[in-house]
Amino acid sequence: MRPTWAEINLETISKNTSIFCDLLDDSVALCAVVKADGYGHGAVEVAREVLASGATWLAVAFVEEAAVLRREGIEDPILILSEPRPNEMEEVVKLGGVRPAIYTRAGVEAFSSVAEEGAPVHLKVDTGMHRVGVRPNEIIDLADYVVELGIQLEGVFTHFALASTPKDPFNMSQLKLFDRVLEELSEAGHTPEIVHQANTAATLEWPETHHSMVRVGIGLYGTEPSKFFSERFKELGLKPAVWLRSEVSYLQTVESGEGVGYGHRWRANKNTRIATIPIGYADGIFRGWWDGGEVLIGGAHWPIRGVVTMDSLIAEVDDSIKVGDEVVLLGSQEDSFLAVSDVAEVLGTIGYEILTSLGARIPRRY
């Protein structure tokens, strides 16, 4: 068996969940976002852990993700964050306790045609993300239509576009617009029981956005939404829950001037000891990670040399490194650490992409 695996610390996820719960008033529910297979950590395992640690709702992106949780015996309320297609609504109903996001009249019609009277839905309003959602000036008509067709407007929600950069003034524009939408809904006679606006960043930064529920995703896994939140994560004790490990499978010495890997993108400027590590871009290790990327071996940082290939990568090492030595690509080793955010910064991306790119062929050990 290939000596490569992702080690998921469920106790850490439990502690992270408790930390977020402690930030909330007793009247505010925590909805744990477990889409994309729990951000690469395993949706079922994570769902069980967060529900045992204070979360009372789960959120996913698609109907099939909700179905996986139900098949594994998870019975708690699940919110589908995007509107299912009309031909999926019957499956939503059969799963039981699954709330669809709704933002079109077609969605209202499709759900009401297969659901029992009073079945709950959550209307999503677009306050500036411009991905999905009903426009603020159309939400009253849509809420009226929900009631007219006999289903329940249980919730209303929106999503921040720039919460990971809290100082951007657009955040306050979205906050105020959502408040106005809630006021207009109330004036029209609609008082949904559940109102949610805050993601991880907003939950940490703006208590006024907590309303009756918050949706926390990446924070549960101990990765900050952006570098802005690094110190806050440390203060609160939020810690990463995944270590990505492999081992040295082969060692050799290349001579000065020799190229390494496809395209010879890196050439040795002296006789250099290099180690092959059996993990590559088919496992979610970005091909471009070689340019500035590092791995940990023996508690030291070693630079990646040559482009990452499909099944392996190469690191420059010294004679102290042996075949079989542990390699850490995410996580700690002795006194050294490689954070998800560190890797994301090298690649010019975000921690979300790093976590959710971890391939299915990497075994998860809990």
Assess if CATH 3.20.20.10 describes domain 10-222: yes
Taking the C-alpha atoms of residue 280 and residue 169, their distance in angstroms, rounded to an integer, is 40
Closest by CA position to 23, among listed 219, 204, 240: 204
Q: What is the pLDDT of residues 114-130, one digit of tens each?
A: 999 999 999 999 999 99
Q: How many CB atoms lie within 10 A of CB 323?
A: 11
Taking the C-alpha atoms of residue 203 and residue 197, their distance in angstroms, rounded to an integer, is 9
pTM value?
0.95
> Parallel, antiparallel, or unpaired for β 259-260 and 266-267?
antiparallel
- Catalytic status, residue 262: yes
Q: Of the CATH numbers 3.30.1380.10, 2.60.40.1180, 3.50.50.60, 2.40.37.10, which one belongs to the domain with range 242-338?
A: 2.40.37.10
Query: What are the beta bridge partners of residue 122?
Result: 101, 155
Cα dihedral sign, 317-320-324-325 = negative
Closest by CA position to 103, among listed 119, 136, 125: 125
pLDDT tens, N- to C-terminus, the chain (366 residues):
889 999 999 999 999 999 999 999 999 999 999 999 999 999 999 999 999 999 999 999 999 999 999 999 999 999 999 999 999 999 999 999 999 999 999 999 999 999 999 999 999 999 999 999 999 999 999 999 999 999 999 999 999 999 999 999 999 999 999 999 999 999 999 999 999 999 999 999 999 999 999 999 999 999 999 999 999 999 999 999 999 999 999 999 999 999 999 999 999 999 999 999 999 999 999 999 999 999 999 999 999 999 999 999 999 999 999 999 999 999 999 999 999 999 999 999 999 999 999 999 999 999
Q: Which of 124, 262, 270, 352 is catalytic?
A: 262
- Distance from the first to the final alpha carbon of the chain: 18
Q: Which of 35, 124, 145, 221 is catalytic?
A: 35
In contact, 315 and 277? CB cutoff 8 Å: yes
Q: Which two tokens stand for residue 334?
A: 């002795």
Domains 10-222 and 242-338 agree in fold: no
- Domain definitions of the chain by residue range: 10-222, 242-338
- Give start and end residues of each alpha helix (H) in 223-310: 230-236
In contact, 226 and 46? CB cutoff 8 Å: no
